[in-house]
Amino acid sequence: MRSLRLARNHSTHEYERLVYEGWILYDTGHREEALIKAEESIAIQRSFEAFFLKAYVLADTSLETTTALYVIQLLEQANSCASDNLRKGQAHNNMGSIYVDCDMLDEAAECYLKALGIKHTRAHQGLARVYYLKNQKKSAYDEMTKLIEKAKNNASAYEKRSEYCDRDMAKSDLNMATRLDPTRTYPYRYRAAVLMDDHKEEEAIAELSRVIAFKLDLQLLHLRAAFYDSMGDSAATLRDCEAALCLDPAHADTLDLYNKAREKSEPQS
């Protein structure tokens, strides 16, 4: 946010300043106002940044088919204004994501391949998703392997590849993700769930406790509470639910679990 404000304050052109203001508004939850800023910028100067901002905000607001196709048109207009391959690759990659959301997988694959053709490495992840949705799991795994080979020490790539392989290989990828970035929570949740499936309750709790010790996270606390509940430990369930509700007092699943645990812990009349 600070960098956006600095960029806005040092903008030499009005259309650039409007784009930065649009991103600031978007990041603070003011989507309609962000759209207006993008449109004002386009009215002054057609630019990649303004079209991209408008497309991004619209895609986040609604993904009905008509809106999605309009977003793609905006990204195509952004591409026509792009001054370098980095921007073009970004636009093609985002178009691919929109097509995936519309279940237009062939069109999505074409966009991702165009992005890869101009060295937009992240498109490997999108193309892997397309292969997976087409039930081509091996191709999805191989595509993520290409990303891992290009993006060294990329914990998120190992995490994503784990979705496209068997349990043992997934565990290996997630262990690597944890080594590269111990703060990512998904690997801990996955390993804990596997341990619970194997009826290793104490080890599952320990796996979650390991990360909760240095990173308070709603999903982690809720999962550990659910594990405690399945083990019949109402006191521990209530404790973790209360901690989770401190982070999000309106979290429906945790509220439901909390109320059930309270009922269990109350003495029967």
- Domain positions in the chain are 1-120, 210-269
Residue 197: pLDDT above 80? yes
Question: What pLDDT, in 10s, does the model give residues 208-233?
Answer: 999 999 999 999 999 999 999 999 99
Question: What residues contact residue 242 under an 8 Å CB cut-off, 6+ apart?
Answer: 258
Phi, psi for 188 (deg, rounded to 5): -65, -45
Lowest-confidence segment of 83-92, 185-194, 242-251 by average pLDDT:
83-92
Q: How far from the centroid of its chain's Cα atoms is residue 18's Cα?
A: 27
Same fold, 1-120 and 210-269: yes
Lowest-confidence segment of 19-33, 173-187, 222-236 by average pLDDT:
19-33
Closest CA to 111 of 165, 29, 5, 98: 98
**Rounded CA gap, 103 and 127, in Å?**
13
**Rounded CA gap, 40 and 88, in Å?**
23
**pLDDT value of position 267:** 66
Closest CA to 113 of 133, 98, 92, 129: 92
Collapsed DSSP state (helix, strand, coil) of residue 37: helix
**Rounded CA gap, 33 and 252, in Å?**
30
Residue 122: pLDDT above 70? yes
**pLDDT value of position 12:** 79
Phi, psi for 250 (deg, rounded to 5): -105, 10
Q: Which two tokens stand for residue 113?
A: 């391949």
Predicted confidence band of residue 196 (pLDDT cuts 50, 70, 90): very high
Question: What residues contact residue 254 under an 8 Å CB cut-off, 6+ apart?
Answer: 218, 221, 222, 225, 241, 244, 245, 248
**pLDDT value of position 194:** 96
**pLDDT value of position 266:** 77
Q: How many residues does the chain have?
A: 269
What is the percentage of the chain residues whose pLDDT exceeds 70? 97
**pLDDT value of position 62:** 67
| The domain over range 210-269 is classified in CATH as 1.10.10 | no
Q: Which two tokens stand for residue 55?
A: 């497309």
- Residues 158-178: what's their mean pLDDT? 96
Q: What is the pTM of this model?
A: 0.83
Domain at 1-120: CATH architecture: Alpha Horseshoe (1.25)
CB 30 within 8 A of CB 42: no
CB 54 within 8 A of CB 43: no
Helical spans, DSSP H, in the chain? 2-9, 14-27, 31-44, 48-61, 65-81, 85-101, 105-117, 123-133, 137-150, 155-161, 167-180, 186-197, 201-212, 218-230, 234-247, 252-265
